[in-house]
A = this chain, B = another copy of it.
Amino acid sequence: MTEQSGPSTQQIVEKVWLSIAERRLRPGVQLKEEQLATIFNVSRARIRQALTVLERDGLVTIIPNRGAFICKPSVEEARDVFFVRRTVERCVIERLCVSVSKPNLRRLRDHVAQERIANAQDITTDIIKLSGGFHLLLAETVGSDFLFTTMRDLISRSSLITAVYRNTNRFNCGPDEHAEIVEAIANNDAVKATHLMAHHLDHVESELDLSEIRDLSHDLRAALS
């Protein structure tokens, strides 16, 4: 009788986010509210909350009276996101190199270590989460709420862009380049750190195939399982 109240809004968001990043949900697919409500075993109200969050993160577009669709970022939008990332991440690095506490340095190194483990064991889900999580952790370490939320928005959009335009099967936002950046920060070497980050972003962007989007699958239930 006492039905489990189902996943929270945040859990739904993460599930959809991951499904998009893993390419199980393709751009252009409509996320119908009742369908999602059935899949997640929650009411439509909670689904609508999750969809508004996903819209804010730039992963879906909500068209009034039409519904929510997974975004198809254009090539221009993709380049724009990376352009802004260069500016913002540079700002983050510069502030970190001025002063980074020992505990924060430890957190960064621990994170890179986790990335190495996920890569070694080839667990795609963890690789995706941790890869974006590194950049997010950098922003969090700065201590600026605004930079953190901005980076969060950038990362979620980058994940979608990578899912759409990535050419290879490997995720090249690997732990090695991250590790170098952390060590440059540890040495308070702002020049080196910013160069490494710029190179890292160039590298990630260069892996993208900026041709047209392929078509989409419709098996919602399987993609979200």
Contacts and interface: CB of A to CB of B under 8 A. Distances in A.
24 contacts: A49-B52, A52-B52, A56-B56, A77-B145, A80-B144, A80-B145, A80-B146, A80-B147, A81-B146, A83-B144, A84-B91, A84-B144, A84-B146, A84-B147, A84-B150, A87-B87, A87-B88, A87-B91, A146-B153, A146-B154, A146-B157, A149-B153, A150-B150, A150-B153
Q: Is the interface of A mostly helix, strand, loop or mixed?
A: helix
A52 B9 CA distance: 13
A147 B154 CA distance: 11
Contacts of A88: 87
Which of A84, A147, A153: most chain B Cβ within 10 A?
A84
A93 to B, nearest CB: 12
Nearest to A147: B84
Interface string A53-88: 000100000000000000000000100110110011
